[in-house]
Amino acid sequence: MEVVTMDCKKFVEEQISQIKQTVGDATAINALSGGVDSSLVTVLGHRALAEQLKTVFVDNALMRQGEPQRVVNTFADMGIPVELVDAREEFLSALAGLTDPEEKRQAVTNTFYEKVFGRLVRESGAKFLLHGTILTDIEETIAGIKRQHNILAQLGIDPEEAYGYSVLEPLKTLRKDGVREVCEFLELPAEISQRIPFPGPALATRIVGEVTRQRLDTVRAATEIVEEELKDSGAFQYMAVLLNDRATGIRDNKREFGQIIVVRCIESTDARTATATELPWDKLQRICERIINEIEDVNRCLYDLTPKPPATVEYI
Amino acid sequence: MEVVTMDCKKFVEEQISQIKQTVGDATAINALSGGVDSSLVTVLGHRALAEQLKTVFVDNALMRQGEPQRVVNTFADMGIPVELVDAREEFLSALAGLTDPEEKRQAVTNTFYEKVFGRLVRESGAKFLLHGTILTDIEETIAGIKRQHNILAQLGIDPEEAYGYSVLEPLKTLRKDGVREVCEFLELPAEISQRIPFPGPALATRIVGEVTRQRLDTVRAATEIVEEELKDSGAFQYMAVLLNDRATGIRDNKREFGQIIVVRCIESTDARTATATELPWDKLQRICERIINEIEDVNRCLYDLTPKPPATVEYI
């Protein structure tokens, strides 16, 4: 890994100044996902623009247990108002029937940009959009590894033409570790700076096969258990994935055909490469026991051993 | 677990005597799968009947690397002739297009009994069939947990009517540990008495989704690696399973959508209950590395943490 000594103070001042200069007297909007990238953009944007920046949190039905309200509250505590927008039905109907990973990601992207966020932007009258793209997103998208929803400009799509707004990407020179460093420099709450990475299409990336309300409930319950059990693990990222395959099992002496949850926990500094975390055996056993006992219809729990590459962190 | 002190000598003498008495001057036939159960039946049968017993090994295309010839050789070394029957095409065409676990097991069962073995029995003129059913098979089938291919009588199917022969089941009072004990008493080679359990429908139980020649090659290669790496683990059983789901990955900086292998390794005494084996982390890592590097199109390797119940040992 390259070692770059970053001057956080200078970075923050430059970005705030550049946002101010670009936006001028206009208004800007940004979507907060709760992740460290969009959180830092929100903080930088509000320092630069104050009430000229409108921040929305879109509930896409794909978030974790209690997450939308928790994120809004964290920012309220910092004096930053965030508008919570309920778009759950729109996302669920866009995802209905889709099983192809690309189509699923595309459905989330299109629903977000073209429908929900596009509408919010038009209603707000904002001309500028602040976005949390980081360097790794750009690199992986260019390399064809990842299809990111937030880097339209880098993909050669003219955002002005495509969605009706201009995009500012103040973090596009940073990797994940740089973003965390700036968050710590700004003394943002640990639930922001230390938050484990969570992808844009959220729990939809952790469901192989169709994304339905019921399957979201299953992976959400598993995610809750995994995050609770691994919050002190010190790992870079940890998650639960619901497979589409089922496997035989026995419960109350009867044959059943149950669902399968994969636990993934990784070590990484910047998400470009990763290795599976060596978790203590009794911790793995406890997670497995909780998942098969507390979640209806799940009878297998697997631990992902694979590094990135050749696996990615997420499953779709 | 119940503790039963078994008199091996008495058991062997009684079974040999009963086989002799039942078969009389007629001829008998049995199918050897290479597993410890059918191996013990073959040895008992040959001691009772000598050349009145014809033993066949049916190559169903679902066996492990080199297995058919290896089994035939092991028995040749004991002076027991085994006829190797190539029925690969019949099994593969019966399995083509099937994805439902019950239909897959049924296709293997029907192809074996009604087509291949039925034909061999008719051609041989044998009136008696020796079979390796053990007590656990009977219990689990009655409980609806398992659909066994070799216990027609217990399921209330009249074998005389259904397939044209009578079934003798000399091991039906033993569990797996009892079978091993008798094998050791008889001083059978370790590759028989210590052989890890392998199911009747063979690698077909380790493929979720359709069983094709190509998918068999994939799970066969993974099985070879897992068995090689875990042969000294002391575990009760270990295997590789090919899922039907695929997951994203990156190889040579390009996005790919690869196959997933599950490694399962269990501790058990009689296969009625089991727990996942606590394997050393570097062993798990080595297995994962070999699987993702040596097998084409596989980019994930998962370790199954689940006990039985609620999971079964196999996946279909």
| Torsional class of A108: left (φ above 0), alpha (ψ -120 to 50), beta (otherwise) | alpha
> Tokens representing A245?
């395959």
Residue A2: pLDDT above 80? no
Residue B265: name the closest of B245, B244, B287, B298 by CA.
Answer: B287
Please give the full DSSP string across A19-55, using - where no structure is assigned.
Answer: HHHHHTTS-EEEE--SSHHHHHHHHHHHHHHGGGEEE
Query: What is the distance in angstroms between the Cα of A101 and the nearest Cα belonging to chain B?
Result: 8
Contact state of B302 with A301 under an 8 Å Cβ cutoff? no
Contact state of B303 with A299 under an 8 Å Cβ cutoff? no
Eight-state DSSP code of residue A315:
-
Eight-state DSSP code of residue B202:
G
Which comes out higher in pLDDT, residue B148 or A230? Answer: A230
Residue A156: pLDDT above 80? no
> Tokens representing B128?
């008696």
Residues 279-308 of A with CB under 8 A from B: 281, 284-285, 287-288, 292, 299-308
Q: Is B236 helix (H, G, I), strand (E, B) or coil?
A: coil
pLDDT in tens, A136-151: 877 877 776 665 544 4
Residues 107-126 of A with CB under 8 A from B: none
Per-residue model confidence (pLDDT) at position A140? 75
Mean pLDDT, all residues of chain A:
89
pLDDT in tens, A175-211: 888 999 999 999 999 889 888 778 878 999 999 999 9
Residue B253 has phi, psi (to 5 degrees) of 65, 10
B70 touches chain A (CB under 8 A): no
Contacts of B64 (CB under 8 A, 6+ apart): B198, B202, B203, B220, B223, B224, B227
Q: Is B277 helix (H, G, I), strand (E, B) or coil?
A: coil
Helix or strand run (H / E) with residue B244: strand B237-251
Per-residue model confidence (pLDDT) at position A163? 57
Eight-state DSSP code of residue B309:
T
B255 touches chain A (CB under 8 A): yes
> Tokens representing A89?
């039905």
Residue A153: pLDDT above 50? no
The residue of A219, A306, A313 whose CB has the most chain B CBs within 10 angstroms, and thus the best one to mutate to test that interface, is: A306
Nearest CA in chain B to A102: B248
A223 and A62 Cβ atoms separated by less than 8 Å: no
Residues 191-210 of B with CB under 8 A from A: 208-209
Residue B174: name the closest of B307, B271, B312 by CA.
Answer: B271
CA distances from A209 to A87, A201, A215 (A): 22, 14, 10
B186 touches chain A (CB under 8 A): no
Per-residue model confidence (pLDDT) at position A284? 98
CA distances from B237 to A29, A45, A194 (A): 58, 58, 41
Chain B neighbors of A288, CB-CB under 8 A? 276, 305-307
Residue B203 has phi, psi (to 5 degrees) of -65, -15
Q: Which residues pair with B262 in a beta bridge?
A: B241, B302
pLDDT in tens, A67-83: 999 999 999 999 999 99
A269 touches chain B (CB under 8 A): no
Mean pLDDT of A267-284: 93
d(CA A239, CA A226): 6
Which of B243, B284, B306 is nearest residue A301 as measured by Cβ atoms?
A: B306
Per-residue model confidence (pLDDT) at position B163? 57
Contact state of B248 with A315 under an 8 Å Cβ cutoff? yes
Per-residue model confidence (pLDDT) at position A86? 97
d(CA A295, CA B45): 49
Nearest CA in chain B to A207: B247
CA distances from B277 to A77, A159, A202, B267 (A): 47, 53, 33, 6
Here the ipTM equals 0.83
Contacts of B257 (CB under 8 A, 6+ apart): A101, B246, B247, B248, B249
Which of B253, B276, B312 is nearest residue A248 as measured by Cβ atoms?
A: B312
> Tokens representing A87?
């778009």
Q: How many residues does chain A have?
A: 316
Residue A55: name the closest of A24, A77, A76 by CA.
Answer: A76
Residue A121: name the closest of A184, A195, A28, A41 by CA.
Answer: A28
Eight-state DSSP code of residue B115:
I
CA distances from B246 to A36, A148, B160, B249 (A): 29, 20, 45, 9
**Percent of chain A, pLDDT > 90?**
68
Residue A9: pLDDT above 90? yes
Query: What is the distance in angstroms between the Cα of B283 and the nearest Cα belonging to chain A?
Result: 11
B305 and A302 Cβ atoms separated by less than 8 Å: yes
Chain B neighbors of A301, CB-CB under 8 A? 304-306
pLDDT in tens, A14-24: 999 999 999 99
Per-residue model confidence (pLDDT) at position A154? 41
Per-residue model confidence (pLDDT) at position A1? 42
Residue A303: pLDDT above 80? yes
Chain A neighbors of B310, CB-CB under 8 A? 249-251, 256, 258, 292, 299
Residue B5 burial class via C-beta count within 10 angstroms: exposed 0-12, middle 13-18, buried 19 and up: exposed
> Tokens representing A255?
């044959």
Residue B40: count of CB within 10 angstroms of its CB: 26
CA distances from B58 to A121, B32, B196 (A): 68, 8, 19
Contact state of B305 with A301 under an 8 Å Cβ cutoff? yes
Which of A245, A306, A308 is nearest residue B208 as measured by Cβ atoms?
A: A245
What string of pLDDT tens digits covers the 316 residues of chain B? 444 557 999 999 999 999 999 999 999 999 999 989 999 999 999 999 999 999 999 999 999 999 999 999 999 999 999 999 999 999 999 999 999 998 999 899 889 888 888 788 888 888 888 999 888 877 877 776 665 544 444 434 455 555 556 889 999 999 888 999 999 999 999 889 888 778 878 999 999 999 999 999 999 999 999 999 999 999 999 999 999 999 999 888 888 899 999 999 999 987 789 999 999 999 999 999 999 999 999 999 999 999 999 999 999 8
d(CA A283, CA A59): 32
Per-residue model confidence (pLDDT) at position B121? 82
A114-123, A279-288, A305-314, B78-87: least confident range: A114-123
Angle, CA of A92, A67 and A88, to the nearest 5°: 20
A–B: how many Cβ contacts below 8 A? 149
Residue A124: count of CB within 10 angstroms of its CB: 15
Cis preceding linkage at B101, omega within 30:
no
Contact state of A251 with B285 under an 8 Å Cβ cutoff? no
pLDDT in tens, B150-168: 444 443 445 555 555 688 9
A73 and A82 Cβ atoms separated by less than 8 Å: no
Strands B28-31 and B53-59, by their bridges, are: parallel
B205 and B108 Cβ atoms separated by less than 8 Å: no
